[in-house]
């Protein structure tokens, strides 16, 4: 009872979690808050136990690893020193099959790495498929590309979760719940880069650990060679001594029963001894055909994450990073044109940039937009017929005789507002950019402003013939730029 005799009102789970988020938001970077806390949903509050729902085991592990102290202090502040936090983890995208993990917020044990076996060495009787037999284990060539690092891997919405998972694995190989880590994506989206980045980071942080990258086809060919030479045991023993095994393109194990059987035994040994396994595939484990069920079930034991097709902003960042690394410059409109039109994968994007640079070097002249259009059309089979927001802004401003920078200012002058609204309308019509991205190009306006502008233009076109004719004329200019 309160001093006034009224019964104390019990807070809801939503209220408690909302108050927690306010505190958490003030104590971590905005991007970290967006990535790791916005997806969490409060489920229920029973006495002093708050249950929250997280999207995956990976989320739970990451929160426990990086934000346990902040969560503990925050939940205690809201519910008292005996407060408890309960995680509900979504399994296979369904809350109905969620598993629940209890942990007391006031007494969270620190997780230690699983016991790591002492260093092992290859004796002369065990053949090494990568180097001369008899070399010490630590001298095995990891088969890594040193240029593929986390620093050179451009992060975007399309790959943030996969990159975060890879980074966590590299910081604590074999010591997280995401073992194995399975990364799947289409061609040229960065699977191999991420595998190498994990390996290079582990070697930097843990030089005593043996890291090995191997494409699945090379693994299969090595196995066949050892099978012919009656040295299968040597082959197995070699792979069982790796601390961090990175296997690329596991879809090529399909329908190779003997290879799958050998990999199954190697996988089991490594996993049971706390070694880290990272796999890549062109599709999710559940969609792999020709792979034994016992292997698929093990692939699903840890975390499966994907790499999506990069959006426009990420493609721009990739190009700019590549140019910076190579010490070169191209006009902004050229870079933007390439980013708009080469959108299938990162490999083609970088290939288009190399083609532009080669052309500039051979012809000894700067690359302009017209030259870029010709080269990109020859490089990519199907170039998207699309212009940039900047080109649309320039076309509209030239027509109405309005300085382009005025479109980003907070002015209510009718002719400028009309030019800005029309530019937004045409940007939505002729580009693939989201409403949020379009708004950013007009002084950071939000998506609702873009929606309102588009509707205002449509309404004015319905009632004003002169304006309708002006829009038609501007559209002709834009369409000519596409030819």
Predicted confidence (pLDDT) per residue in 366-414, tens digit:
777 777 777 777 655 444 455 788 889 999 999 999 898 889 888 888 8
pLDDT at 432 over 80: no
Non-local (6+) Cβ contacts of 62 within 8 A are 36, 164, 168
The answer to whether the CB of 309 falls within 8 A of the CB of 186 is yes
The 10 Å Cβ neighbour count of residue 20 is 24
Give dist(CA 292, CA 32) in Å, integer: 38
Of residues 55, 73, 74, 81, the one with CA closest to residue 17:
74
pLDDT at 250: 92
pLDDT at 320 over 90: no
How high is the mean pLDDT of the chain?
80
Q: Please report how many Cα atoms fall inside a 13 Å half-sphere around the Cα of residue 196, on the Cβ side.
A: 15
Mean pLDDT, to the nearest integer, of 272-286? 90
Of residues 357, 377, 376, 378, the one with CA closest to residue 367:
357
Give dist(CA 477, CA 483) in Å, integer: 10
Give dist(CA 386, CA 479) in Å, integer: 9
Dihedral sign (CA 287, 288, 293, 296): negative
Domains in the chain (CATH in brackets) are 13-103 (3.30.300.180), 137-306 (3.40.50.300), 312-379 (1.10.8.60), 389-482 (1.10.1750.10)
Does the pTM surpass 0.75? The reply is: no
Predicted confidence (pLDDT) per residue in 193-242, tens digit:
999 999 999 999 999 899 999 999 999 999 998 888 888 888 888 898 89
What is the per-residue DSSP string for 368-420?
-HHHHHHHHHHHSSS------HHHHHHHHHHHHT--GGGGGS----HHHHHHH
Residue 63 Rama label (left phi>0; alpha psi -120 to 50; beta): alpha
Predicted confidence (pLDDT) per residue in 104-134, tens digit:
443 333 333 322 222 333 344 445 565 544 4
Dihedral sign (CA 433, 435, 437, 439): positive
Mean pLDDT, to the nearest integer, of 164-191? 89
pLDDT at 35: 76
Least confident of 61-65, 120-124, 132-136, 161-165: 120-124
pLDDT at 447: 86
Looking at per-residue pLDDT, the higher value among 9 and 281 belongs to: 281
Mean pLDDT, to the nearest integer, of 288-293? 88
pLDDT at 380: 55
Predicted confidence (pLDDT) per residue in 11-61, tens digit:
888 999 999 999 888 888 777 788 788 889 999 898 888 889 887 776 777
Mean pLDDT, to the nearest integer, of 266-282? 91
- 100 DSSP β-pair partners: 88
Residue with tokens 């200012």: 409
Residue 428's pLDDT band, with cuts at 50, 70 and 90, is confident
The 10 Å Cβ neighbour count of residue 30 is 8
pLDDT at 249: 92
Give dist(CA 85, CA 53) in Å, integer: 11
Starting at the edge strand found earlier in the chain, the sheet holding 181-184 runs 211-215, 244-248, 276-281, 181-184, 303-306
Give dist(CA 17, CA 184) in Å, integer: 34
The answer to whether the CB of 374 falls within 8 A of the CB of 336 is no
What is the per-residue DSSP string for 146-173?
TT--STTS---TTTHHHHHHHHHHHHST
pLDDT at 326: 67
Mean pLDDT, to the nearest integer, of 70-96? 78
């Amino acid at each position: 009872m309160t001093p006034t005799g009224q019964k104390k009102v019990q807070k809801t789970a939503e209220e408690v979690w909302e108050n927690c988020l306010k505190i958490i938001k003030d104590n971590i970077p905005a991007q970290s808050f967006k990535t790791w806390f916005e997806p969490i949903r409060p489920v229920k509050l029973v006495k002093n136990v708050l249950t929250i729902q997280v999207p995956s085991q990976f989320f739970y592990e990451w929160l426990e690893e990086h934000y346990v102290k902040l969560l503990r202090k925050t939940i205690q502040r809201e519910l008292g020193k005996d407060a408890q936090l309960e995680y509900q983890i979504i399994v296979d995208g369904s809350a109905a099959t969620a598993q629940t993990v209890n942990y007391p917020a006031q007494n969270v044990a620190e997780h230690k790495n699983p016991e790591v076996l002492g260093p092992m060495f290859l004796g002369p009787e065990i053949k090494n498929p990568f180097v001369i037999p008899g070399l010490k284990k630590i001298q095995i060539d990891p088969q890594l590309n040193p240029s593929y690092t986390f620093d050179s891997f451009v992060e975007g919405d399309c790959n943030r979760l996969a990159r975060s998972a890879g980074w966590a694995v590299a910081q604590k190989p074999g010591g997280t719940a995401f073992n194995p880590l399975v990364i799947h994506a289409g061609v040229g989206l960065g699977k191999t880069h991420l595998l190498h980045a994990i390996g290079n980071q582990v070697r930097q942080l843990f030089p005593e650990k043996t890291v090995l990258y191997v494409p699945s086809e090379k693994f299969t060919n090595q196995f066949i060679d050892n099978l012919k030479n009656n040295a299968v045991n040597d082959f197995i023993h070699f792979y069982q001594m790796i601390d961090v095994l990175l296997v690329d393109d596991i879809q090529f194990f399909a329908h190779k029963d003997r290879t799958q059987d050998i990999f199954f035994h190697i996988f089991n040994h490594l996993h049971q001894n706390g070694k880290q396994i990272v796999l890549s595939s062109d599709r999710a484990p559940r969609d792999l055909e020709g792979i034994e069920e016992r292997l698929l079930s093990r692939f699903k034991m840890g975390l499966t994450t994907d790499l999506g097709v990069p959006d426009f902003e990420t493609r721009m960042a990739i190009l700019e990073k590549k140019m910076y690394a190579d010490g070169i410059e191209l006009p902004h409109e050229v870079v933007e044109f390439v980013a708009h039109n080469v959108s299938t994968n990162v490999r083609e994007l970088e290939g288009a940039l190399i083609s532009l640079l080669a052309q500039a070097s051979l012809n000894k002249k700067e690359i302009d937009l017209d030259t870029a259009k010709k080269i990109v059309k020859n490089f990519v089979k199907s170039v998207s017929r699309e212009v940039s927001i900047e080109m649309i802004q320039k076309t509209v401003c030239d027509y109405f005789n309005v300085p382009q920078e005025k479109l980003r200012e907070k002015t209510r002058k009718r002719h400028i507002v009309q030019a800005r609204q029309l530019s937004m309308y045409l940007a939505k019509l002729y580009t693939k950019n989201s409403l949020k991205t379009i708004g950013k190009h007009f002084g950071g306006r939000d998506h609702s402003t873009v929606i309102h502008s588009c509707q205002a233009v449509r309404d004015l076109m319905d009632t004003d013939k002169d304006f309708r004719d002006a829009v038609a004329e501007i559209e002709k200019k834009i369409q000519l730029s596409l030819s």
